[in-house]
Amino acid sequence: MVKLLTDEQQEAVDWQESLLLTACPGSGKTRTLIAKLVAEIECVRGTPRSICCITYTNTAVQEIEQRASEQLQAGDERYIYVSTIHSFCLHSILRPFAWLRPDLGGARRILTRDSPDFEAICQYAAAQVNLLQLNQADYEAFESLSVDTNGRIIGVALKNDAVCRAAPYFWARCAQLGYIDFGNIVYGAYLLLREHPGIALSLCARHPWFLIDEFQDTTELQVEMLKLLHATRRSKIFAVGDLYQSIYGFTGARPELVAPFGVHIGARSDLSLSLNFRSSRRIVNHAERLFPRLPPMTAAGSTRDYPVDPILIRGGTVFEAITEHFLPALEAQHIALGDATILAKDWFSLITLARELRDFGTPIVGPGARPYKRSRLFAQLAEQLCGAIVEPTGDTTRQLERALFHTVQDATGQARLGLFGFAGRQVLVRLQREALRLANLGHGAIAWLDAMSQATGDILLRAEYVDRIQSGLFYASVQEMKADMIRQKVDIFNLTIEHLGLFASPTRALRLSTIHYAKGREYSAVAVIGLRTGYFPFKYSDDVIAEKRQFYVAITRAEKLLMYVAERDRWGNAPSPFLGPTGLNVLR
Ligand SMILES: Nc1ncnc2c1ncn2[C@@H]1O[C@H](COP(=O)(O)OP(=O)(O)OP(=O)(O)O)[C@@H](O)[C@H]1O
């Protein structure tokens, strides 16, 4: 099914040279990108080439693949290659060409926050510089370590002197244990591209177009890589983004690199998408007060005339603001809980609220909502199996397949791609049948978890996806989940299959999330919390405009209802200056 495009979207798709497209919030950036992806297949069909699309997160990759597949002819999937920047660097550059520079670590496992050795590696590196107690911010700084073209540290880690000093030990320890971190994946790929021009030639022979999503959040390293690709003169670049939505400065993103890059590659840059199909006119007006655009952003979607002004709630606690104002407003406007979100600058400000809302009986998803660690081996598959029992959706099989694949990978260290085929479906049918049988016994979620984790081990052992020792890991991880829940003071005997299923199909629950998580998403109703002086923007912030952009991203997620929450804090701080005369002017 071909989606209709506006004239401005169509003009961008039809442009046959490199293009930097500025797109205001809700202007159909993704729709335009997908239309370009599908349109350019015409020039590669029947060849070994494909159109390469690089986007920011795995979720965005899945969304683009899925939405594109609705418009593709049978067999055309092979002509699109959608990937995150890290996956592109790893699979298209580092691994195939690692033999040119084995020291760059192309053959190593990827180190993520969930890797079993992550904390031990950080602690080892920190100890080398006499940092003996690591806090959350230190782990985050290690996790986001990234470098510029000269290998110098950039981004948030720069503000953490101890982590900067510990970084060489961190990288050396990673190498020793056979890991590579995200920062070095991109840096290693850049070095290979720079030192071996043949690599760029081979990539450009394969991909006549590179489509780049969220270009405002690109780093110097990524810009330099694109320049090296463009220098072959064999590929064109279609980059789409919005400078006002650049919120990844902490990973080294530099929106000021966009314009010079456009000039460098001779890209057209006068085209912009200015119709917002997401938000009501009243919400768009607020966004325009924050960052007036040229041409102005205009509400053009079905919610255009929605008659509710954004609301400011001040004083009281966040919990009171949500339960006494936001939830009743959702009910009055007939907005489902699953269509609404509460946004905060960082996830720890959501933890207490999550606990209070859980006790209040409001179904929620997001940080603090899960009473156990998400990384527990059996957690993801258990949630998906429960979701399939409680509320199967059109996407259930696909999500189950993905969960099963990841669970087997975590248990065995092996990527068993066969799980996405017929053999995987057979295992899934067995798992689902057993999950349903056990749920029908009506003994509650804890008994279900115990029995189902053992059954999963047996089914996967019989299908030869795990060995005998690995088959016991699922039950063991359920014991860890139980311990997590007891620590969180959850009444585990009242936990139901519905509770577990909620995390798999969050359409019935209110989502609590950070603004970064919400980027690229849209909700009928949004409450932005923490709008206090000193906190938003942070009183020691050296980049208030970056925080203003973050606030801009938050308010432009809303379609119909927008609520600002300036809760009371113990220092009696006034509401955020973003709400005052220099910002939205909603303070009286
Ligand atoms: N030509 C169009 N006609 C009608 N609706 C459209 C059109 N283009 C996009 N939309 C709708 O507008 C909404 C926003 O689209 P999308 O999420 O792609 O915007 P975006 O530009 O990526 O936004 P943001 O940058 O804020 O994340 C979606 O619901 C989409 O279906």
Answer yes or no: is 28 a known binding residue: yes
Measure the CA–CA gap between 151 and 190, rounded to whole angstroms: 11
Structure tokens at 315: 């004083």
Q: Are 494 and 377 in contact (CB under 8 A)?
A: no
Ligand 1 centre to CA of 413 (Å) is 39
Structure confidence by residue, pLDDT tens digits, 39-69: 999 999 999 999 999 998 887 888 898 888 8
Give the nearest ligand 1 atom to 29 CA. 21
155 lines ligand 1 (CB under 6 A): no
22 lines ligand 1 (CB under 6 A): no
Q: Using 50, 70 and 90 to split pLDDT, how confident is the model at 392?
A: confident
Nearest-CA neighbor of 34 among 1, 74, 75?
1
243 lines ligand 1 (CB under 6 A): no
Measure the CA–CA gap between 504 and 493, rounded to whole angstroms: 21
Backbone angles phi, psi at 277, to 5 degrees: -90, 0
* pLDDT on residue 375: 82
Structure confidence by residue, pLDDT tens digits, 79-117: 999 999 999 999 999 999 989 988 888 778 889 887 889
Ligand 1 centre to CA of 275 (Å) is 9
Instruction: Give the three-class secondary structure for 296.
Output: coil
Kindly provide the residue ranges of all beta strands, DSSP E only, lying in 205-339, ordered along the sequence.
209-212, 236-241, 272-273, 275-276, 298-299, 311-314
State yes or no: pLDDT of 1 exceeds 80. Answer: no
Structure tokens at 569: 């804090």
Give the nearest ligand 1 atom to 5 CA. 1
31 lines ligand 1 (CB under 6 A): yes
Answer yes or no: is 259 a known binding residue: no
Give the nearest ligand 1 atom to 276 CA. 12
Measure the CA–CA gap between 368 and 513, rounded to whole angstroms: 10
Give the nearest ligand 1 atom to 522 CA. 17
Give the nearest ligand 1 atom to 553 CA. 26
For a mutational test of ligand 1's pocket, the pick from 277, 553, 560, i.e. the residue with the most ligand atoms closer than 8 A to its C-beta, is 277
Structure tokens at 226: 């694109």
Measure the CA–CA gap between 276 and 4, rounded to whole angstroms: 15
State yes or no: pLDDT of 11 exceeds 90. Answer: yes
Structure tokens at 35: 């239309």
278 lines ligand 1 (CB under 6 A): yes
Pairing of the two strands 51-55 and 272-273: unpaired
ipTM: 0.94
Q: Are 360 and 337 in contact (CB under 8 A)?
A: no
Ligand 1 centre to CA of 195 (Å) is 40
For a mutational test of ligand 1's pocket, the pick from 27, 215, 552, i.e. the residue with the most ligand atoms closer than 8 A to its C-beta, is 27
Q: Which residue has the higher pLDDT, 355 or 192?
A: 192
Q: Using 50, 70 and 90 to split pLDDT, how confident is the model at 368?
A: low
Structure tokens at 34: 């997908």
